[in-house]
Structure 1
């Protein structure tokens, strides 16, 4: 690279870094507005109290840190449970800002410069801008009723990292930065496709859990509404409570996945809900918890729900089989399938661990499924389903190969038989032409001793 090219690349990197810092700060501000505005609405809707509007802003800032996977606490109570849908919403908002930033910078730099500009300008700049804004937001929580922990500012890196990773770590995209493609080139050729299939599988598993939760809430709607009405809230207060519960639907989705996997989950100490039995115990008065089943022992047939994660694994195997041609390499096919399934389960496990935590003390000190048993069961089921699909594909291809070989053998034998018949017919024709004929008499009969007609 010439000195002029280096100077141009360095200038483009510096410009991109400055733009990325601004974009990161704006993305963090946008996510803060998502929680501060409802907090202000709740303050306006609440009866007249001693807390001012700035206290509502402080509470909103604390919830912002909670949405980034950080613990918040006050008055001896610690809340470490992360609202997963709020967390994913933050990732989406940050991703929108990052997408615009990447599109703008990609349009003004040369293809040969893009990898370095992205690696040294866009990525660090966006992270610095986002975390820097988080450091400013932490000042709002000083003296607040609830406040984040000491390491909360650094913990906000979760959101911008996932947003950038979703946009840049795409090894099958020809416009991905060179350093991303170089990471995957060090591995087997199927790794980029297994990476994509694994993330799609994680999204599918999460959506399956979310669908199950929504169905449970709809079925138990009367119980949920009755608990909600017991609060005696006005319209604005009720809207804020509903919004908070919607943000917790993602956590409930991981609970549903733990139920489908077999180990089940707990909402309070000494409670468990699994395909074997339901022992919810004494539940807090949260309307959405009205969808939980009552205490009961379930028949063994209910363990049929384990078919759902197995079927999800089969879909992962199908996606991978559709995207990659293994050319008969069974070992590579099985490794790729197992890697994609394990990645999907790992992502779900991280989300589950992030969504677990405490929402108070005593009975609510540990809410959510136990991560290790859940991940272990899901790994066996999802990998089993994916590998079963791959094994079926291998058997089908081999059966088709044997069938094709048999058909070719039959056709070849028929061709040989036809060739033999053609040769035999040709030999017979040649023999007829070469055989001498006996002379005939005047009556047209052949002469000889064997004639039946006597001569006159």
Structure 2
């Protein structure tokens, strides 16, 4: 952060053009995130007892890991790695926000923002080239996410949306504008509830998880990196658990599904936290009660949406705002699931996680059940 600040300051007589300073701070912001991930990767590769990768391959793999955190997909042999740790993506967005706030003026011009994005994208492109040192290779289209989308989100979070976008948003239907924030909060609540389920399952089966962790024999730094990756995957697994609670369930390998009715047997990836999932066989009937989690979240979303509508507004206006919030929440979770991906290779590892389209549709129904119950209660209270 000090490097970013120093790139934006200088003596009055030697001050660089604002676009050059903006590009430099954008490059430093990307470089800060890249360096942290690469250092962990190189240390892990050098310290793991059974690792055979050289420095160049470790450098390339660390660069690709940084791109994966931003949403990139990788080709590995005949398979594809499309499992983006959502917590890592969030950290990169936060870093982009901090870097753009420290490296740009309070009200940057469009040229300065474009230069900042250009500097960030240049470093990300260099990281993609370094990734060629590893056996994997990023897919070209997916590079748009770590190169442009992630820094653009952080930039918009720090300095707001462009004026043209703000003007178009002001023309959107009132119900959509009222339901956006409650829906986004509801999506965050749903992922948080799923993450809590994962933590509870991990604590309940900590013995199995620790056994897989120790069996990998990754050493200190390799084990540390493995733990960090699993922490970064917590929101991903939270979406899987949410899908289990909502009904569609999730898949581990080879199409083996875990739903209310039971868990199917399948060869699991060597990710220790996956040992916390239910064992193959029928599950108890009480697992059906987990559906109360999304329904309860729907009640909360409905009450949040009603706060954005005047108390004495027409019932139709309240219903429209609540419906918009429900749709936003379900769509946001489905999009997060799509971003998180669901592949760690080919064949049996090609389809992992929750089915995003089906999960979105089921969440619309369950959230609506709870949200409209909140509207009905509000109507009854006013009627009395």
Normalization by structure 2: what TM-score? Answer: 0.88
Distance in 2 between residues matched to 1:16 and 1:198, nearest whole Å: 38
> Is structure 2 residue 76 aligned with structure 1 residue 86?
no
The answer to whether the 8 A contact 1:24-1:128 is kept is: yes
Is the contact between residue 326 and residue 332 of structure 1 (CA under 8 Å) also seen in structure 2?
A: no
1:167 Cα deviation from its structure 2 partner: 3.8
Greater C-alpha radius of gyration: 1
Equivalent in 344, 360, 365 of residue 359 of structure 1: 344
Displacement, 1:324? 3.0
Give the C-alpha shift of residue 207 in structure 1.
Answer: 0.9
Superposition deviation, residue 186 in structure 1: 0.9
User: Which one of the candidate residues 285, 295, 298 is aligned to 2:270?
Assistant: 285
Corresponding residue for 2:8?
A: none
Deviations 1:236-260 (A, max 9, x none): 2221222222222221111011111
What is the CA–CA distance in structure 2 between the aligned matches of 1:50 and 1:270, rounded to whole Å? 32
Structure 2 unaligned regions, length at least 5? 1-15
Q: Does 1:164 align with 2:155?
A: yes
Give the aligned partner of residue 314 of structure 1.
Answer: 299
Shift of the 252–232 alpha-carbon distance from structure 1 to 2, 3 Å rule, reads: same
Distance 2:379 2:210 in 1: 52
Which of 41, 44, 61 is 1:42 aligned to? 44
- Is 2:76–2:345's contact at 8 Å kept on the other side of the alignment? no
Query: In structure 2, what is the equivalent of residue 182 of structure 1?
Result: 167
**2:136 alignment partner in structure 1:** 146
Change (3 A) 1:248 1:192: same
Is 1:132 equivalent to 2:122 in the alignment?
A: yes
RMSD of aligned C-alpha atoms? 2.4
* Residues 228 and 287, structure 1, Cα contact 8 Å, conserved in 2: yes
* Contact 1:131 1:153 (8 Å CA) reproduced: no
> Does residue 235 of structure 2 align to residue 250 of structure 1?
yes
Q: What residue is the counterpart of 2:258 in the other structure?
A: 273
Question: For residues 304 and 71 of structure 1, what CA distance do their matches in structure 2 show?
Answer: 36
Q: After superposition, where does 1:66-145 map in structure 2 within 5 Å?
A: 66-101=68-103, 104-106=105-107, 117=109, 120-145=110-135
Are the counterparts in 1 of residues 297 and 367 from structure 2 also a CA contact under 8 Å? yes
The Cα shift of 1:38 comes to 0.8
CA shift in 2, pair 1:354/1:177, >3 Å: closer
Corresponding residue for 2:375?
A: 390
Please state whether the residue corresponding to 1:142 is helix, strand or coil: helix
In the other structure, the counterpart of 1:418 is none
Is the Cα–Cα contact under 8 Å of residues 313 and 384 in structure 1 kept in the other structure?
yes
Among 200, 216, 219, the alignment partner of 2:185 is 200
**Larger deviation: 83-92 or 228-237?**
228-237
Distance (whole Å) between structure 1 residues aligned to residue 302 and residue 156 of structure 2: 24
Moved more, 121-130 or 250-259: 121-130
- Structure number with greater CO (CA < 8 Å, separation at least 6) is 2
The corresponding residue for 1:370 is 355
Runs of 4+ aligned residues of structure 1 deviating over 6 Å after TM superposition are none
CA–CA separation in structure 1 for the residues paired with 2:63 and 2:334: 27
Distance 2:221 2:239 in 1: 29
Q: Distance in 1 between matches of 2:159 and 2:274?
A: 39
- Displacement after TM superposition at 1:208 (Å): 1.0
* SS in structure 1 of the partner of residue 70 of structure 2: coil
Alignment: residue pair count:
368
Per-residue Cα deviation, 1:362-408 (whole angstroms, up to 9, x for no partner): 21111111111111101111122112212221221122xxxxxxxxx
Work out whether residues 16 and 105 of structure 1, in 8 Å CA contact, stay in contact via their aligned partners in 2.
Answer: no
The structural deviation recorded for 1:209 is 1.1
Gaps of 5+ in 1: 1-13, 107-113, 170-175, 400-456
Q: Deviations over 1:204-252 (max 9, x none)?
A: 1111111111111111101111111222343222212222222222211
> Within the alignment, does 1:211 sit opposite 2:196 as a pair?
yes
